[in-house]
Chains A and B, each alone.
Chain A
Amino acid sequence: MADTSAAPPRGEEGSSLAAVQDEPEFAELRRRLRTFVFPMTLAFLAWYLLYVVCSAFARGFMAHKLVGNINVGLVFGLLQFVSTFGIAYAYSRYARTRLDPLADKVRADIDGGAA
């Protein structure tokens, strides 16, 4: 998978894995990962906790009927499913387009250097 043609020979080829951490491309990879996963984790945990707190403390609201026998609690619960599927999809697309190509590039440089 690694696109080795994109790895032109460089000066510091013998660098160990640890030294890669200082390179700007790796710093960018880490930045992209963290700016997506940290806020997203806080967001879905907050959304989930809101649901649990409502289940404990806002029971009248959760029992409020919307259509027929379908109440807010059921819809809120089903929305947790929807958001979980949606976030999994969004992360996978983000990883495929924004993380994987950069990770391949950094790795190709490492493999090129180790060869």
Chain B
Amino acid sequence: MTHHILAVDANTHRNISIALFIVFVAITLGITLWASRQNRTAADYYAGGRSFSAVQNGLAVSGDYMSAASFLGIAGLIALTGYDGFLYSIGFLVAWLVALLLVAELLRNSGRFTMADVLSFRMRQRPVRTAAGVSTITVSIFYLLAQMVGAGALVGLLLNVKGEGAKIWTIVVVGALMIFYVVVGGMKGTTWVQIIKAVMLLGGALVMTIWVLAKFNFNLSSLLGAAAEKSGKGASFLAPGGNYGKTNLLSKLDLISLGLALVLGTAGLPHILIRFYTVPDARTARRSVNWAIGLIGAFYLMTLALGFGAAALVGSKAISAQNAAGNTAAPQLAESLGGGPGSGGGAVFLAIIAAVAFATILAVVAGLTLASSSSFAHDIFANVIKRGQASEQDEVRVARFAAVAIGAISIVLSIFARGQNVAFLVALAFAIAASANLPTLLFSLFWRRFNTRGAVWGIYAGLISSIGLVLMSPICWGGKSSTLPAGNATALFSKTIEAPFPLQNPGIISIPVGFLFAWLGTITAKEVASATKYAELEVRALTGAGAH
């Protein structure tokens, strides 16, 4: 390699990137076609035949969870603002304990295909499934938009192409591929896409981490020192406060609000929950969560090295010159490790990491499309519209149509939103999951008296309050305020009007609201919860008796 450095023009890394990405796409398309021949029953389509092992599902869970927001977003946040990016990593990891201790096994034992299976188990089917379906589809589409708009924005930077046409084409290609994976491969094909992506992402991050640490003789302190020095902020770069809670009490509450949504949201994300159905039993689900905790934890530790490494080796000035949000920090770090801009090694390594980033986005959007289309077909179509009378074939056919429709809607919305700053949608998806889904899920599993009205009120109250508060927040209204003395230049509705709700993260209000209304609905309903149905749910959930 070192003897034959190629003459590098600006297009070298673009060509390598595209070639690598095509290899990834070709392999995953092949697997998807293979998986399609194995798809016979609804359990194959929705749950991959429940045949994945703990390691496989642990990797797939990690692949579904480690979005571009965590890979590029957190590394960028650390590179630009220092310590505060680490807060995201910790919330995203600790959250898995909620899933492990309270949700994964019980859900696997008592549900079949969707989150609503558990929520509606002992309730009146139609109202609860409608609410859970609406919440599932809303969370998934918000998350999808963040990923797809991100893909459009990244392609220009990573592949060095300019113009709106490139963004639009990227969104269309990513959307078309995700629809293909889901419609043709179902859960089995999608799971394999996530497994391959997880291996690529973890491998890429590991190589970069070791490389960065080697540059500092594996001395963490000198890496941190170099990052702090190059940032120009000194020791404060290594302490909290670079990004969150800079001004007053409200902005500090905003940080706590974000922390709450991160830690409580994961166990309510529908695309994560349905992954627990892909294994044979609850104990495999438990072991797969343990694998996921190990892999995701290792990954977030590596983002620390990547973020501070980018701060030390690339520098915040060069990063924010490429992308104000810092999303290109990890790829720029790769370029620097490979030999710097203009070098052959730099171009190759940048190309590899850029291809990994696109594989990452693709796997996550496929998981989200699958979760939302499954919920539409299984909850809304089969149980609300057809009142449980639809045949399995009809249900799966509707699921495939729904995947095409949701994919198409996401493509169109992403094209319209491509100029907006939609990074907040990831945090919003977590806030909705924590406010609307988690309260009802926990009450369903653990509270005997919980009833239909409680479930419906809990979901809608959590959903409406979290979205409503964001619509009134500085994300939408960018006028100067006590929390944002400089205003928000990327506000969606107005740059001058002050936001009526001062926090950007709704969780601190909307999560208690979700729990409160789930409780209030329950105690005000005339309907008495069926003790027999709760007994049956509890016996199934705890023992696995009668599990699908």
Contacts and interface: CB of A to CB of B under 8 A. Distances in A.
Interface of A: 16-22, 26, 29-30, 33-34, 36-37, 40-41, 44-45, 48-49, 51-57, 59, 62-63, 65, 67-71, 73-74, 77, 80-81, 84-85, 87-89, 91-92, 95, 100, 103, 106-107, 110-111
Given A29-B542, A88-B293, A71 B238 contact: yes
A57 B406 CA distance: 43
A84 B93 contact: yes
B87 to A, nearest CB: 6
A63 B244 contact: no
B544 A107 contact: yes
Contacts of A29: 542-543
Contacts of B545: 17, 20, 106-107, 110-111
Contacts of B260: 49, 52
Nearest to A81: B297
Most buried by A among B96, B532, B542: B542
B119 to A, nearest CB: 19
Given A59-B239, A84-B93, A85-B293, A33 B83 contact: no
Nearest to B253: A56
B94 A88 contact: no
Interface residues of B, number: 59
B225 interface: yes
Interface string B290-326: 1001100100110000000000000000000000000
Nearest to A85: B297
B509 interface: no
B302 to A, nearest CB: 12
A106 B543 contact: yes
A95 B101 CA distance: 10
Nearest to A64: B239
A33 B542 contact: yes
Contacts of B543: 20, 26, 29, 103, 106-107, 110
B225 to A, nearest CB: 4
Contacts of A85: 293-294, 297
Contacts of B90: 48, 51, 77, 80-81
B225 A100 contact: no
B536 A16 contact: yes
Contacts of B84: 55
